[in-house]
A and B are shown apart, each in its own frame.
Chain A
Amino acid sequence: MRYINKKNLSLLTSHELINHPISSDIEENISGLKKILFNCSDAVFREFTFGSRGHKGLVLYFDGLTDRREIEENIIKPLILEIGMVNIDPGLEDQGHLFLKIKNSIVAVAEVKELSTLGEIVHHISSGDTILIIDGYDRALSAGTRSWQTRSIQTPDNEVVIFGPKEGFSETLRFNTALLRRRIKSSNFKIEAFILGRVTKTDVVLCYVEGIAPPGLVEEVKARLKRIDVDGILDSAMLEEFIVDHKNTIFSQVEHTEKPDRVAAHLLEGRVGIMVDGSPMAIIMPISFPQFWLSPEDYYNNYIPASLFRMLRFVAFWISLLLPSLYVAVITFHHEMIPTALYLTIAATRQGVPFPAFIEAILLEITFELLREAGLRLPRAVGPAVSIVGALIIGDAAVRAGLVSTPMVVIVAATGIASFVTPAYNAGIINRIARFGFLAASSVLGFLGIMIVLILMLTRMASLSSLGLPYLSPLAPANLEQMTDVVVRRPWFSNLHRPYLEGMQNYVRQNRQGGGEKH
């Protein structure tokens, strides 16, 4: 029988072996695993014997993903040195007594699981666990010994705040979930795990607060995650395209963030967060477009200045979207709109400029985008210097050469600065793309063109939704209560309800009678 099994195993390919159950013959298991892990130089097979009867054992792990000291101290050393101290009835060894004793009394690791297939073994060692196989048993033990070099918790570069928590997510999923768990100390805070990617087997978690997040919403996200069948998921942003309602659009339907406090705030509003192992970005759904104007620090600041800053951001959003096109429209078609003195000044600076205002604007906008991209890609030490010096030198040289006018440089620079005011990076991208459409339309039809593009944009935005939430809500469909927390920042004491989501059962956020648990 053993011969037949051995022969069968040797005939199987590594793909077939993955689903094969663990054999009670350790040699078979070793040969099967070596076949699966062929050419994996970081796989460590440590064979040893232990106990008075010379049991064969195998410890298997991937070098670099595990804590070697923990393996030596808490798995190998107790097995070799301390097994004799454990009282095992020799007659019961074959009935699994030894295996249970090792699991319960010898392996001194916090997390131990029993595995039954070779595939499970491969998955666990890939995740940083250590596998212990004992001859004579058709099961293996997986010990949680994960340890690898990681980036420490740092302030997110892309979401700088003055008030509020500064820590950001890192690339290690467990650290990230811990950061959330520290903020939401409730058993209702659920972190459901998925493994996505046929090859990468990436750990993905879905976070939500049970009782606040609408059950239908949670089920829908789960269903969409389960539908993903791809070879690999390397970042949370990759999931976005799989799970959003509308795929062919520039309008982002999820929010990306590196800040745990931001995710926690969204979870408390009934939304769900998705995090991927290896990515410092969490994605939040469902989201509406006005949400992109909001910054987490609004809620850590006094509501009056916070409201003023929010209004400023609102103005900056429109400046970054429309200022160059408004300027082109005024210069090209609607001169009468600006006072004569100002128009004469602008006309004087445009003397000798060989390009129409539209070409001027396009040239400078493209230059600005190039500098921005170059600043992002260049090494951190030289990036800002190159972009600032580049902007100054190119702008000044272009004006001196008479290629562009000074007001246009001012307009494009003001637009660029305004575009950085929008807290959400994806909203900034929407602006950057749409701005060119507005520019082209304004150069052909002036204000009329701008309005036509605005109508087209509005039509598209009105037709979008994020997991069923209308993209323009709470502006359309209008919800006055929620609108007051979009245009301005509503004070906490009047923030009585959560933003409404379809199917939400727990709508009340604040109990005016006061309270809070006492410890």
Chain B
Amino acid sequence: MLRLSNFQVYCMLLLFCAPIAFLQVGKYAIDLLLNNAYLAVVATIIPGILIIYIFHYIIQKSTFPFPFMLEEHLGPKAGKIIGFLYSLIFLFFTSFSLRLFIDFIETNVLPQTPITIFLGLLLLCSCLAVKTGLGNFARMCEVIVILGLSFAFTIAFLSFFQHPDIKNLLPFAYINSLESFFRAVFMLTSEILKLTAILFLAFFIPDKKASFSIMIKVLFTFITLISSITIATIMVLGAHAAKLFTFPTFIVVRIINIADFITNLDAIFIGLWVIGIFGSSTLFLFLFCITTSFVFNLQEYRFLASPSSLIIAVLALQMASNILELNIIIVHIAPVLLFIFFFLIPLLLFFITWKKPYPSSSSPLEIKDHFPTYLN
């Protein structure tokens, strides 16, 4: 049976949640809360822990990993129907994360290059990763996270030395509108909801009880990363100026100047961000393939990667005609979809499992015979 280490699951979850958030979420929090955006980031700990508790509880009360647990708790018919909806959602989010990345590259890095080239190349990488299997992808995630985290924190650290103005954070902790605060927290929480992947991954670690500590570590890494880059953005650019830019984090990276010689590190930042987006979209693609194979009772999931790439490419190109339409999806549609499928349905599972006893075989090794063979 496929075995993953706790660190591998930590890396996969972090890669799932952080790359898009690193570039975007701080900006939306600044849009809503200006100089107090970091407070919303820190406040996300509370809903984050709540979500982690719900996911952990579901894992403890389930015998099978997601999406097979849908059938286990909701019955065969409802399980399959909701599983089908999930596969559509995973498909959508794979396309969405790729489109987001492509628009960013097109507007900021290589405006002359057709977006289909970026799309094709990233999908090729994702497809190959899915075909090599989850165990190999987990190993890749380890390398990516070690590289990416060290670079992301270095960026945040260096940006604190680019003529920051601590006065930009004033007045400290004065929130004008509670509604804006909660909206910002909701936006940030929607990124943390991607921890849903643990419902699948927890069944491959030696002790699924460890899933709680893994999620907590991911949450705190996420909060530290996003809050540090948000504070750096506010201090360096100022909240009002940051609001004017589409990608203020990117501008902060551009401002970094080391010894008046190394400047414009954005190209390196983009390079590493590409790997992050690749990790995030590949995990979505994995989940799509696995959920689809569950819905249609297929014996193998890897072969779905190539044909689904075509659908993903078309969807990514067609989902928005310009960056403004994409912004509408980012602000209004994506968080709602994330809330429904990554929070409400898990919450439903939580209540359903409330009355259920703990499964007799808690160790994945004991239930390996019941696992779908292709996950072995």
Contact between chains at B142 and A477 (CB < 8 Å): yes
The answer to whether the Cβ of B146 comes within 8 Å of any Cβ in the partner chain is yes
Cβ of A517 under 8 Å from chain B: no
Which chain B residues lie closer than 8 Å to A456 at the CB level? 124-125, 128
- Whether B275 contacts A451 by the Cβ 8 Å rule is yes
Is A478's CB under 8 angstroms from B142's CB? Answer: yes
Interface centre among A334, A448, A454, A477 (most CB of B within 10 A): A448
Interface positions, chain B 126-141, Cβ under 8 Å from A, are: 128-129, 132-133, 136-140
Docked-complex contact A472 and B139, CB < 8 angstroms: yes
- The minimal Cβ–Cβ distance linking B368 to chain A, given in whole angstroms, is 18
What is the distance, in angstroms, from B146's C-beta to the closest C-beta of chain A? 7
B: interface residue count bin:
35 or more
CB pair B136–A451 under 8 Å, yes or no, is no
Residue of B at shortest CB range from A334? B267
Question: Cβ of A446 and Cβ of B110 under 8 Å apart?
Answer: yes
Chain B residues near A394 (CB-CB < 8 A): none
- Interface digits, A461-480 against B, CB 8 Å rule (1 contact, 0 not)? 01100000010100111100
* Contacting residues, chain A, for B260 (C-beta < 8 A): 339
Which A residues touch B244, using CB under 8 A? none
Task: Choose among A334, A337, A339, A455 the residue that contacts B278 (Cβ–Cβ < 8 A).
Answer: A455
A477: contacting residue among B8, B125, B271, CB under 8 A: B8
Given the contacts A337-B267, A448-B110, A455-B275, A475 and B140 also touching, CB distance less than 8 Å: no
B270 cross-chain contacts in A, Cβ below 8 A: 447-448
Report yes or no: B146 in contact with A447, Cβ–Cβ below 8 A: no
Interface residues of B in 273-327 (CB under 8 A from A): 274-275, 278
**Which residues 432-458 of A sit at the B interface, judged by CB distance below 8 A?**
445-448, 450-452, 454-456, 458
Would you call B139 and A462 a contact (CB within 8 A)?
yes
By the criterion CB–CB under 8 Å, are A458 and B140 in contact? Answer: yes
Q: What residues of B have a CB within 8 angstroms of the CB of A458 in the complex?
A: 140, 143-144
Q: Is the CB of B360 closer than 8 A to any CB of chain A?
A: no
In the complex, the answer to whether A337 meets B136 with C-beta atoms within 8 Å is no
Q: List, in ascending order, chain A residues with CB within 8 A of B264's CB.
A: 334, 336-337
- In the assembled complex, which residues on chain B have CB atoms less than 8 Å from the CB atom of A337? 263-265, 267
Interface presence of B105 (CB below 8 A): yes
Find chain A residues with CB under 8 A from B278 CB. 455
Contacts of B140 in A (CB 8 A): 458-459, 462, 476
Determine if B113 is an interface residue (Cβ-Cβ < 8 Å).
Answer: yes
Instruction: Chain B residues near A475: list those with CB within 8 A.
Output: 142-143, 146
CA distance A452 to B124 in the complex (A): 10
B174 interface contact, C-beta 8 A: no
Name which of A334, A337, A446, A478 has the most chain B CB atoms within 10 A of its CB: A478
In the complex with contacts A447-B268, A455-B125, A463-B136, A476-B110 CB distance below 8 A = no
- In the complex the two chains form, is B265's CB within 8 Å of A445's CB? no
* Residue in A445, A451, A470 whose beta carbon sits within 8 Å of that of B139 in the complex: A470
Question: What 0/1 pattern do residues 313 to 351 of A give for CB contact below 8 A with B?
Answer: 000000000000000011001101101000000000000
Give Cα distance in the complex from A7 to B121, angstroms. 74
User: Measured between C-beta atoms, what is the minimum distance from B35 to chain A in Å?
Assistant: 30
Q: Which of B57-98 contact A (CB under 8 A)?
A: none
Residue of B117, B118, B124, B143 contacting most chain A CB atoms (<10 Å): B143
Interface status of B261 (Cβ within 8 A of chain A): yes
Residues of A within 8 A of B271 (CB): 447-448, 450-451
**Chain B residues, Cβ within 8 Å of A336:** 263-264
Task: Give complex CA distance A503, B137 in Å.
Answer: 24
Contacts of B246 in A (CB 8 A): none
B94 CB → nearest A CB, Å: 16
How far is it, in angstroms, between the C-alpha of A330 and the C-alpha of B274 when the chains are bound? 17
**Residue in B closest to A475 when the chains form the complex, CB atoms:** B143
Query: Chain A residues near B144 (CB, 8 Å)?
Result: 458
Assuming the contacts A337-B267, A459-B129, asked whether A445 and B113 have C-beta atoms less than 8 A apart, the reply is: yes
Confirm or deny: B245 has a beta carbon within 8 angstroms of a beta carbon on chain A.
no
Chain A's nearest CB lies how many Å from the CB of B101? 10
CA distance A440 to B318 in the complex (A): 30
Chain B residues within an 8 Å CB radius of A329:
267
- B354 interface hit (Cβ, 8 Å): no
| Given the contacts A451-B275, A459-B132, A462-B139, A445 and B261 also touching, CB distance less than 8 Å | no
Which B-chain residue is minimally distant from A472 (CB atoms)?
Answer: B139
Contact for B275 among A445, A454, A472, A476, CB less than 8 A? A454
A455 to B140, CA, bound (A): 9
Q: Which residues of A contact B5 (CB under 8 A)?
A: 477-478
* Contact partners of A447 in chain B: CB under 8 A: 267-268, 270-271
Q: Closest residue of chain B to A455, judged by CB? A: B125
Most buried by B among A334, A455, A456, A478: A455
Nearest opposing residue in chain B for A448, CB measure: B274
> Do A462 and B263 have beta carbons less than 8 Å apart?
no
* Shortest Cβ gap from B160 to chain A (Å): 21
Q: Kindly list chain A residues whose C-beta atoms are within 8 Å of the C-beta of B146.
A: 475, 478
Chain A CB within 10 Å — which of B7, B125, B136, B264 has the most? B136
The docked-state distance in angstroms from the alpha carbon of A38 to that of B113 is 72
Q: Which of B1-38 touch A at CB < 8 Å?
A: 5, 7-8
Which A residues touch B274, using CB under 8 A? 448, 451-452, 455
Contact A462 B267 (CB under 8 A): no
For residue B109, CB closer than 8 A to chain A, the reply is: yes
In angstroms, how far is the closest chain A Cβ from the Cβ of B204?
A: 13
A462–B139 Cα distance when bound, in Å, is 6
* A339–B267 CA distance with the chains assembled, in angstroms: 14
Query: A486 to chain B: closest CB distance in Å?
Result: 12
Residues of B with C-beta under 8 A to A450: 271
Within 8 A of A (CB), among B222-268: 260-261, 263-265, 267-268
With contacts A337-B267, A447-B267, A463-B132 taken as known, whether A477 is within 8 angstroms of B121 at the C-beta atoms is no
Q: A339-B260, A463-B136 are in contact. Are A476 and B143 (CB under 8 A)?
A: yes
The 6 residue pairs across chains A and B that have the minimum distance between CB atoms = A476-B139, A476-B142, A463-B132, A462-B139, A334-B267, A447-B271
Some 16 contacts from A to B, beta carbons below 8 A apart, are A330-B267, A336-B264, A337-B263, A339-B260, A339-B261, A448-B271, A451-B272, A455-B125, A458-B143, A459-B132, A459-B136, A459-B140, A462-B132, A462-B137, A476-B143, A478-B5
A contacts, CB < 8 Å to B: 329-330, 333-334, 336-337, 339, 445-448, 450-452, 454-456, 458-459, 462-463, 470, 472, 475-478
* Interface contacts beyond A336-B263, A459-B132, A475-B146: sample of 5 additional A-B pairs, CB < 8 Å, sorted by A: A337-B265, A452-B125, A452-B274, A456-B128, A458-B144
